[in-house]
């Protein structure tokens, strides 16, 4: 077996595929405590899923320039096959929408809904996530002083 050739040998140097900024910005939430913190934050329900979002504090361990995303589907969604399908669809819409419109320093949790997450048209789920993000990031309305 011969060792790999170097650049000057007339062979093309091995280059790895350029890593997109998206993949380095989106991290998956895995700890229960992070899911519980998101549960007490802002939320927006749509027909296909529920979005929970919270801005992380400065002292938290994760990098401030990353967007974290978590996925969950309870047994109400269905058996393991149905839950896994729903989570695959949630991951797909998050990759498309949150990579472009998610905010750095925020945690998002997508919760699947029974009979809807797995059955709605994919374009509807995409538009629902865009709608939910706009609502979650909209400034809070002030109470009228009069």
Convert the pLDDT of each residue in 103-133 to its tens digit: 888 899 999 998 888 889 999 999 999 999 9
Q: What is the pLDDT of residues 50-92, one digit of tens each?
A: 999 998 887 776 677 788 999 999 999 989 999 999 999 999 9
Which of 56, 64, 73, 62 minimizes the C-alpha distance to 110?
Answer: 73
Concatenated DSSP letters of 82-134: HHHHHHHHHHHHHHHHHHHHPPTTEEEEEEE-TTTTTTS-HHHHHHHHHHHHH
Q: What is the CATH code for 24-135?
A: 3.30.230.10
pLDDT of the residue at 118: 87
Of the listed ranges 7-21, 26-40, 76-90, 117-131, the least confidently predicted one is 7-21
């Amino acid at each position: 077996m011969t060792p790999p050739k170097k650049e000057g040998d007339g062979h093309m140097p091995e280059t790895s595929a350029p890593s997109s900024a998206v993949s380095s910005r989106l991290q998956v939430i895995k700890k229960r405590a992070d899911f519980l913190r998101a549960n007490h934050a802002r939320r927006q329900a749509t027909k296909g899923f529920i979005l929970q979002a919270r801005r992380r504090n400065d002292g938290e361990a994760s990098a401030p320039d990353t967007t974290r995303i978590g996925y969950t589907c309870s047994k109400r969604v269905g058996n393991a096959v149905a839950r896994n399908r729903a989570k695959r669809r949630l991951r797909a819409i998050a990759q498309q929408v949150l990579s472009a419109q998610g905010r750095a320093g925020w945690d998002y949790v997508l919760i699947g809904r029974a009979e809807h997450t797995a059955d709605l048209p994919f374009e509807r789920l995409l538009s629902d996530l865009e709608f939910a993000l706009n609502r979650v990031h909209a400034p809070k309305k002030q109470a009228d002083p009069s």
